[in-house]
Amino acid sequence: MARQQGAVLAAMMMASAVFSAAAYSILFLAVSQARQAESLEDRVQARYAAEAGIVWAMAQLQANPDLRFSAGTTDLDGVTGIDLGGYRVDVFDDCPALPNPCVNRTLKATATNL
């Protein structure tokens, strides 16, 4: 009888170890996927913030076609960065300084999480 109880105890310990390892694996996967989803959400929000910066810059250019966006300057007062929903957006263009004409303008924006 004691031998049988020992075998049952050993089997229960093995089953407990297997179930514990399985539970840990499932928990690890759930936490990992939650982190990935949060990272994806941050990237999507940064993308939308950068696109909003481009739209803002295009509106500024419609009002003033001679406006130039130099590195880090994103508004008419020369303030660096636009705060859009927790992101700092910097808009740049590839136009030469005035009085040189800007023929083909390319706007670029970067968004940094604040």
* Residue 77 confidence class, pLDDT cut points 50, 70, 90: very low
**Count of structural domains within the chain:** 1
How high is the pLDDT of residue 78? Answer: 39
Domain housing 60: 2-113
pTM of whole model > 0.95?
Answer: no
- Tens-place pLDDT, residues 88-111: 888 877 777 767 777 777 887 878
Kindly state the average pLDDT of the residues 46-71. Answer: 80
Tokens representing residue 110 in the block: 């970067």
Q: What is the rounded distance in angstroms from the CA atom of residue 37 to the CA atom of residue 45?
A: 12
Kindly state the average pLDDT of the residues 40-53. Answer: 85
Which residues, including other chains, have CB under 8 Å from residue 56's CB and lie 6 or more apart? 82, 89, 91
Q: How many CB atoms lie within 10 A of CB 68?
A: 17
